[in-house]
Chain A
Amino acid sequence: MTDKLLEIDHLTVRFKGARTIHAINDLSLSLGEGETLALLGESGSGKSVTLKALLRLLPPKRTEIEGDIRVGGTDILRLSGRSLQRYRGGDVSMVFQEPALALDPVYTVGAQIAETVMRHKGVSRSEAMEVALDMLKRVKIPSPERRLQNYPHELSGGMRQRVMIALALACRPRLLLADEPTTALDATVQIQILLLLRELQKEFGMGVIFVTHDIGVAVEISERIAVMYAGQIVEEGTTREIIKDPRHPYTRGLLAANLHDVARGERLAAIPGAPPALETRPASCSFAPRCALAGPDCRAGLPPVVTPAPRRRVACLRADEAVPAE
């Protein structure tokens, strides 16, 4: 198990405030070097919180984090000071959903990439600019020399996201976190960015966690899929397993509603009902109120995690039952 790139064990995240929000509840996940995993789930299921916990970006005062996160064996939740800075952007980096908001509006894109490189590699400004230029070429930005001097508002949405990707990969992280990197973009640009990410992943060989609520995107980009619901992973497996043999009623619902749209990459259509409020820690299956198969046993306690195959798991009492014909 030591050669794992990422291991998350029993992660729990609570936000304190007027009301406590149980955002992540006993989440475990592992990822090998160079693996790509899609984290799939509805809005509010805790995908972004998971990524932010990984980079320790959650507000420390209001957040209670329990469990264990290890990247390359290092205990992330104990990092602080310089080692935390080295880790962020060095070992693990992140691409945000809205590149227009995630870039500093008054710095040129070149300067923003270069400052990251200078921080992590301790090189001079001009060397860092060389790296920035090289990265802009790799993300296929036309006339990269000129673009270095541009401010974010002078670029299109797709260009900005390319810059964001260049920035995230400039220090060759072992793990890239991409939080819905294409949701804010036009459909045609979305596809270009996806293809670019897939290419760069092959080239650099880093592990990728790709957050999306678009099952089509998940299929396109990743080898593995983990389905999230109410702060938990309800099903995990290879992309093929999830598509061909979904076991959790929630995953089945997602697929049934969307399979014919996968090719066109459309958004998830809603499953009837709404995700639960996260005010209490779930004591039974969170999906029960929306589940067609729910019975009294589902409401009696947390469902067991069934592992039909290695690295394959389903958190459902009826995971082994035959798929109802539809």
Chain B
Amino acid sequence: MFSYLLRRLILVLPVAFGVSVICFLLVQIAPGDPLTAIMPVDATAEEQAAMRAAYGLDKPLPVQYAIWVGNLAQGDMGRSIATGRPVAGEVFGAVQNSLLLAVSAAVIAFPIGIFLGFLAGYFRDSALDKAVTAVSIAGVSVPNYWLGIVLVIIFSVNLGWLPSMGAGPGGSRDWSWNWEHMRHLVLPAVTLAVVPIGIVSRTVRALSGDILSMDFVQALYAKGMTRFDVLIHVGRNAAATALSVMGLQLGYLLGGSILIETVFNWPGSGFLLSNAIFQRDLPLLQGTILVLALFFVAMNLIVDVAQAAIDPRIKRS
């Protein structure tokens, strides 16, 4: 197991390298000169050159890359062009908020998805199964930003039960663990949970249905096991696949919540990303994408290792 872990870690290095190169090149490829945004329009050629040298933009690309990575290693991602604040702080704050939202959505979605999926798989082709199928297809196909707006209209505008904007009172950007803040989490987390409920329940339905129709289930009953014992066996057989689907879903929730974060004004990475794009804030864009991409890579690694740890059929040597 340990050598497997080590091998997987080594395999991740080139991926991480590729990700960082792409993020680095993003700024170079982006149309327009990054300096034009911060330079006065009437700056002279000398002033431009001086600025260029100050930002290290006159050096060859590989050198610039090395400097950039060196800075990254020290937690320095440059400064935001729009606000002048360090990118690292902005990104980590936003990623934390997004992670909070993503994990909350997952905490809602995964148990519900597993429960519904298992019921549907256990009572395959029954009315219950058809109902679950309808729910999960609806969950996957309804555009969730639209659903978010509908929920806002119902619960914020009409009923006035829950706030709809920001991560805290007055649209605050800072999180803390009290009800005043947590109220703000409810609507976006529920909205975000709808798609993974659909996907997880479909997956678990297929998995548990397949496993329950396998011969060993009958053999378990034949040796005197209870329904509950059989349920545990089914769960352990389904765990590896279900886990990988859920790990991927968590990744999507983190990176794919741009629309939801915009609808709810949630100060997360998606929100930051859309701001960075509209303001052509390249260092901020670069930093956000890098952190999200590395998170994806790490998530994949965790899923793979966890899968190998719980499923003996996956080759570990």
Contact = CB atoms under 8 A, between A and B. Distances in A.
A295 interface: no
Contact of B224 (A107, A108, A119): A119
Contact of A85 (B214, B224, B311): B224
A95 to B, nearest CB: 9
Given A105-B313, A115-B229, A151-B312, A89 B215 contact: no
B221 A106 contact: no
A101 B215 contact: yes
A83 to B, nearest CB: 11
B224 A89 contact: yes
A257 interface: no
Nearest to B234: A104
A94 B221 CA distance: 10
Contacts of A6: none
A168 B215 CA distance: 15
| Interface size bracket, B side | 20 to 34
Q: Does more than half of chain B's interface fall in helix, strand or loop, or is it mixed?
A: helix
A87 B225 CA distance: 11
B313 A86 contact: no
Contacts of B220: 104
A103 B224 contact: no
B222 A88 contact: yes
Nearest to A102: B219
A90 B222 CA distance: 10
A120 B224 CA distance: 8
Interface in A118-166: 119-120, 151, 153
Given A57-B221, A115-B225, A104 B216 contact: yes
Contacts of B310: 106
Nearest to B219: A102
Interface of B: 214-216, 218-226, 229, 233, 236-237, 310-313
Given A85-B226, A105-B216, A119-B224, 8 more contacts: A87-B224, A88-B221, A93-B222, A94-B219, A103-B219, A106-B312, A107-B233, A167-B223
28 contacts: A55-B221, A55-B222, A57-B218, A57-B222, A85-B225, A87-B224, A88-B221, A88-B224, A89-B222, A89-B224, A93-B222, A94-B219, A94-B222, A98-B215, A102-B215, A102-B218, A104-B216, A106-B311, A106-B312, A107-B236, A115-B229, A116-B224, A119-B223, A119-B224, A119-B229, A151-B312, A153-B313, A167-B223
